[in-house]
Amino acid sequence: MSALLEVKDLKTEFLTGNGPVRVVDGVDLVLNKGETLGVVGESGCGKSVTSMSIMGLLPKGQSRIAGGDIRFRDQSLLSLSAKEMRQVRGNRIAMIFQEPMTSLNPVFKIGNQISEALRFHKNISKKEAWSQAVGMLKKVGIPRPEQIAQEYPHQLSGGMRQRVMISMAMACNPEVLIADEPTTALDVTIQAQILELMRELQHEQETAIMLITHDLGVVAETCQRVVVMYAGQVVEEAEVGMLFKHPLHPYTKGLLGSLPQLAGEKKRLEPIVGSVPTPGNMPSGCRFAPRCAYRTDACLEAQPALLEVDKGHKCSCILYREGEQ
Which residues lie closer than 8 Å to 91 by C-beta, 6 or more apart?
121, 172, 174
What is residue 11's three-state secondary structure? strand
Which residues lie closer than 8 Å to 194 by C-beta, 6 or more apart?
159, 162, 163, 166, 182, 183, 186
* Rg, the chain, Cα only: 21
pLDDT digits (tens, 9 = 90+) for 268-281: 777 888 888 988 88
Say how many residues make up the chain. Answer: 325
pLDDT at 323: 44
pLDDT digits (tens, 9 = 90+) for 250-307: 999 999 987 776 555 566 777 888 888 988 889 999 999 999 989 999 999 988 999 9
pLDDT digits (tens, 9 = 90+) for 209-229: 999 998 888 899 899 999 999
Predicted TM-score (pTM) of this structure: 0.91
Which segments of the chain are extended strands (E)?
3-16, 19-32, 36-40, 63-72, 75-76, 93-96, 176-180, 208-213, 225-230, 233-239, 307-310, 313-315
Report the percent of the chain where pLDDT is more than 70: 95
CATH 3.40.50.300 fits 3-92+174-283, yes or no: yes
pLDDT at 231: 95
Give the chain's mean pLDDT: 90
pLDDT at 126: 94
Q: Residue 188's pLDDT band (boundaries 50, 70, 90)?
A: confident
d(CA 33, CA 225): 13
Enumerate the domain spans of the chain. Answer: 3-92+174-283, 101-171
pLDDT at 264: 54
Determine the number of helices (DSSP H) and then strands (DSSP E) in the chain: 11, 12
Contact between residue 25 and residue 232 where contact means Cβ atoms under 8 Å apart: yes
